Amino acid sequence: MRRAIAFAALAAALAACAPSVPGSSGSSGSSSSQAPASADRLTIGTTADVVNFNPLVGNSRTDSWVTNLMYPHLTQMDATGKRVPYLATEWSYSEDGKTATAKLRDDMKWSDGKPVTADDVVFSVSAVQKEKFGVVAGLITALDKAEAVSPTEVRFNLTRPDGTFLDNVGFWLPIVPKHVFEKAPSVQKFANDANWVSAGPFKLTKVERGQRYIMERVDDFGPGTPAVKEVVFRVFPDVNTEVLALRNGEIDVIGNVLPPATATDLKNDTSVKLQEIPSLGWAHLQYNTKRKPMDDVRVRQALAHAVDYEAIRNIALKGFAKSSNSSVLTPSLPQWTDPAAKEYAFDPEQSKKLLTEAGVANLSLNMIYDQADPNIARWAPMVRDSAKKAGITIKLQGLERNTYLDKTAKRDFDIYAGSWAVMDNPPANLGLAFKSGGFINYAQVSDPKLDDLIDKAQQSLTVEDAKAPIQEAARLISDQVYDNVLYVETFNVAHSAKWTGFQPMPSELLSILNPLSLASAKPAGS
Amino acid sequence: MTAVAVDLTPRQRTWTSFRRNPLGVGSAIVLILLALTAICAPLIAPFPEGYGADTSQPPSAAHWFGTDDIGQDVFAQVVWGTRVSMAVGVSASVLAIVIGLLIGVSAAYFRRLDTPLGVLVDLSLSLPVLPLMILVAALAGPSVRTLAVVIALFSWPEVARVVRSQAMAIVPMPFVSAAKVVGGSSLWIVRKHLLPGVIPVVGVSVVLTTSRAVLAEAGLSFLGLGDPNSWSWGTILHKAQQSGALASAWWTTLFPSLAILLLVLSTTLLSVAYNDARNHRNGS
């Protein structure tokens, strides 16, 4: 199973949204429920073990949470998805767009005392480029060669102008220590499961598989010494048990996103604080455009008019979801959104009309989804029931996760229901998702006009230049129903009211567990 | 009672003593009620679909068993769940009994088959059933039919073993030898002598296998391997667990669990009562 997940690394990382495989239950912690929080220890609940300690490979959420605290990225992002400095202090493109440079801060050290330098960045990006693995490989196809200009400056030579390059590398690429990783014959196969040399706000000191992961504060962490001495990740069987543990004071933060019903429930609990985190992805239905009759745009539009979007957001998601106006440019990234976008209305009569026009009767389609994804499992029957009103039969196929991934990879479905977790840069992501032959182009879209628009947006070096073509691309995607965006989820993460100072960032990956947030977390009232 | 009992046939005697066991009769009534619920589901409650405005409401006059997190009536879910749970249980059990009966009787009657079939039964009994069921159900895709077949495939060995041991006691009987001597075919002997002899144990088996099948179905559905297009007790539990409201919305889990408990308990009590009633030595 692990292999199968690793096999679909890119798809999984971008599309991952289901709860991870539960680990075994942890033993009960030592902290008592009444004591006020001390800065000694912050305990975080998670539902999975760390599968891969190699940050360049790992792709589960727990993997990312732990390794993100150990290996810096060039940039982080603010609440609107804009990049903010982390290891890099500034970054820019040359005028022709064929070179990109990033300046690094000089006060970051690996835990063995060596400084973090441009050589490490060059090594990390070159390793991925050479061995072609993980999420990053698909995003740096424009890279020709990376070189260290000085210990604090990296230059990336590109084969073509690519305005998405720095955003992608900055956000997705963890920087690993060259002097440790280069000893491995293959960086991809390097397990990195002991004697870690890291450079984040916390370093991993002890692993008890299935129980907990203990991380200690790094006193000379560049951006500022963390307030809390020790961060502990504890493994729980599921969110329900995490909620009980949080209420009992056994843990301080629930790492996993709360199911909407639980969030509504916890809202009234004064000992718990909820943080709303915008998702960078979206939940959607994709219609296989290579299958009849869905190759006809009228049929796809009929399907889009047969979904009760409001009900899904308000009932299945309990209101913790925003409309994206049927656009792939979501409100989570306000600098890209198109104010002219309009959501398909739920209108069964219109659906019937469109189907008659297309000459389709008794439409019956199967819809695959991951049975283990609680939100989708809740709204999939609603999609079926609303389609019934338009005379469309949808057969639900709630599948076990690996079967679902396999069918998705083979494009073996009529309708795909799922969600993309992190779509942080529209020109880059739309390329993967909608360009002919794109890696996650599940709907098998093949539209030369769309390809051109996305290419144009990718070559633009600034958001301002990229905006016009990418908005036109998004309108095309919406009009042609290459993607039917249902909603953008508002995640809820819970932490004990005894703690404060978290810096929430968008997406489940960053949430309040991102390194800068945990470095600034402190007990309330101190 | 001895004076009266002498004149009764064994079947009548079983029936008389069964009727005197309140637990047995009570269980039978509960099972009949559950079966009626399953058959008459459309008359009792509308099929739970769509969504409602009253989400996560505790039990009330309007919603006897409360509502779930998308506002569907839990009572309707349990009623319709009875249908699928019992259908899967009964059909899996019938299938398992047929396979078990065939293999058990063949093993007992055809001596040469005894060893290989015995090995097969032992092998099947030693398989890790739950993981295999999960695997097969996951690969075959979720549907009511898949569930019934998968459960039956893993339930027949117990039936086969019970049937074989009962049949082994019948095969050496003089009337079987006599039937052979007068030239009866094997099929005829099995039909006329062996099957009637093993039917009483099968009767108990049917009931017990059904309850085990219902449990297995609930387990698989709870793990998300149930049919998303229909309701079963396990599916209700699965959805309740997924919604993350286990701790607060107790009614979403209590009622389907009660239904499972009721069915399993009454089948067990029924088979115990039947066994006691049939065992005439205890009757006098």
At residue B143, the pLDDT reads 84
The verdict on B49 touching A (C-beta cutoff 8 Å) is yes
* Distance of alpha carbon A437 from alpha carbon A439, whole angstroms: 6
CATH number at residue A145: 3.90.76.10
**CB contacts < 8 A (A, B):** 85
Query: Cβ contact (<8 Å) for B239 and A381?
Result: no
Give A371's contacts in chain B (Cβ within 8 Å).
Answer: 142, 224-225, 228
The verdict on A207 touching B (C-beta cutoff 8 Å) is no
CATH number at residue A298: 3.10.105.10
pTM: 0.81
The verdict on B71 touching A (C-beta cutoff 8 Å) is yes
Q: Cβ neighbours of residue B234 under 8 Å, at least 6 residues apart?
A: B85, B217, B218, B219, B220, B221, B222, B226, B256
CATH number at residue A506: 3.40.190.10
Residue A65 covered by a domain: no
Query: Cβ contact (<8 Å) for A403 and B241?
Result: no
**Considering only alpha carbons, which residue of chain B is nearest residue A366?**
B229
The verdict on B239 touching A (C-beta cutoff 8 Å) is yes
Do residues A358 and A333 share a domain?
Answer: yes
Q: Cα Rg for chain B, rounded, in angstroms?
A: 22
* Distance of alpha carbon B31 from alpha carbon B271, whole angstroms: 12
Domain with A507 in it:
2-52+200-252+498-523
Kindly report, residue by residue over A84-128, the tens digit of the pLDDT: 999 999 999 999 999 999 999 999 999 999 999 999 999 999 999
Residue A485 covered by a domain: yes
Q: Cβ neighbours of residue B170 under 8 Å, at least 6 residues apart?
A: B108, B176, B193, B194, B197, B198
Cβ-nearest to A377 among B138, B242, B247: B242
**Which of A128, A147, A181 lies at the terminal end of a domain, its last residue?**
A181
Kindly report, residue by residue over A117-165, the tens digit of the pLDDT: 999 999 999 999 999 887 788 889 899 999 999 999 999 999 999 999 9
Q: State how far residue A236 is from chain B, nearest Cα, in angstroms.
A: 14
Do residues A355 and A334 share a domain?
Answer: yes
Do residues A288 and A436 share a domain?
Answer: yes
Do residues A336 and A387 share a domain?
Answer: yes
Query: Cβ contact (<8 Å) for A259 and B241?
Result: no
Do residues A337 and A223 share a domain?
Answer: no
Q: Burial, A32: exposed, middle or buried (Cβ in 10 Å; 0-12, 13-18, 19+)? A: exposed
At residue B281, the pLDDT reads 57
Query: Cβ contact (<8 Å) for A385 and B50?
Result: yes
What the block records as the tokens of B231 is 């309701």
- Average pLDDT (B106-111) is 89
Do residues A113 and A48 share a domain?
Answer: no
Residue A264 covered by a domain: no
The verdict on B131 touching A (C-beta cutoff 8 Å) is no
Query: C-alpha distances in angstroms, A167 versus A137, A467, A524?
Result: 14, 15, 34
H or E stretch at A215: strand A212-217
Residue A274 covered by a domain: no
Give A259's contacts in chain B (Cβ within 8 Å).
Answer: 242-245
Residue among A257, A50, A78, A303 nearest A170 (CA):
A78
Residue A273 covered by a domain: no
Please state, for a pLDDT cut of 70, what percent of chain A lies above it: 93
The residue with greater pLDDT, A353 or B225, is: A353
The verdict on B116 touching A (C-beta cutoff 8 Å) is no
Query: C-alpha distances in angstroms, B40 versus B35, B36, B79?
Result: 9, 6, 9
Domain count, chain A: 3
**Considering only alpha carbons, which residue of chain B is nearest residue A402?**
B138
At residue B199, the pLDDT reads 87
Give B51's contacts in chain A (Cβ within 8 Å).
Answer: 311, 315-316, 382, 385
Do residues A32 and A141 share a domain?
Answer: no
Residue A193 covered by a domain: no
Which residues of chain A fall short of a pLDDT of 50? 1-34
Residues 394-453 in A contacting B (C-alpha not used; CB under 8 Å): 395-400, 402-403
Mean of per-residue pLDDT scores for chain B: 87
Residues 249-268 in B contacting A (C-alpha not used; CB under 8 Å): 249
- Average pLDDT (B248-270) is 91
Give A265's contacts in chain B (Cβ within 8 Å).
Answer: 245, 247-248
Which of left, alpha, beta for A128 (phi over 0: left; psi -120 to 50: alpha)? Answer: alpha
Give A382's contacts in chain B (Cβ within 8 Å).
Answer: 50-51, 70
Do residues A483 and A505 share a domain?
Answer: no
Query: Cβ contact (<8 Å) for B228 and A398?
Result: yes
Please state, for a pLDDT cut of 90, what percent of chain A lies above it: 74
Per the CB < 8 A criterion, the answer to whether A427 and A400 are in contact is no
DSSP conformation letters of A343-381: PPP--HHHHHHHHHHHT--S-EEEEEEETT-HHHHHHHH
Query: Cβ contact (<8 Å) for A403 and B224?
Result: no
Strand partners, B120: none
The verdict on A106 touching B (C-beta cutoff 8 Å) is no
At residue A489, the pLDDT reads 95
Do residues A324 and A343 share a domain?
Answer: yes
Which of B232, B236, B246 should be substituted to probe chain A, the one whose Cβ sees the most A Cβ atoms within 10 Å? Answer: B246
AA identity, residue A199? A
Do residues A287 and A365 share a domain?
Answer: yes
**Considering only alpha carbons, which residue of chain B is nearest residue A245?**
B247
The verdict on A311 touching B (C-beta cutoff 8 Å) is yes
Kindly report, residue by residue over A483-505, the tens digit of the pLDDT: 999 999 999 999 999 999 999 99
Do residues A301 and A377 share a domain?
Answer: yes
Residue A308 covered by a domain: yes
At residue A526, the pLDDT reads 63
Do residues A339 and A484 share a domain?
Answer: yes
**Considering only alpha carbons, which residue of chain A is nearest residue B220?**
A400
Q: Cβ neighbours of residue B11 under 8 Å, at least 6 residues apart?
A: none
The verdict on B241 touching A (C-beta cutoff 8 Å) is yes
Residue A64 covered by a domain: no
Q: Is the dihedral of CA A411, A417, A418, A423 positive or negative?
A: positive
Which of A242, A346, A394, A399 should be substituted to probe chain B, the one whose Cβ sees the most B Cβ atoms within 10 Å? Answer: A399
Query: Cβ contact (<8 Å) for B225 and A403?
Result: no
**Which of A148, A181, A214 lies at the terminal end of a domain, its last residue?**
A181
**Which of A135, A154, A181 lies at the terminal end of a domain, its last residue?**
A181
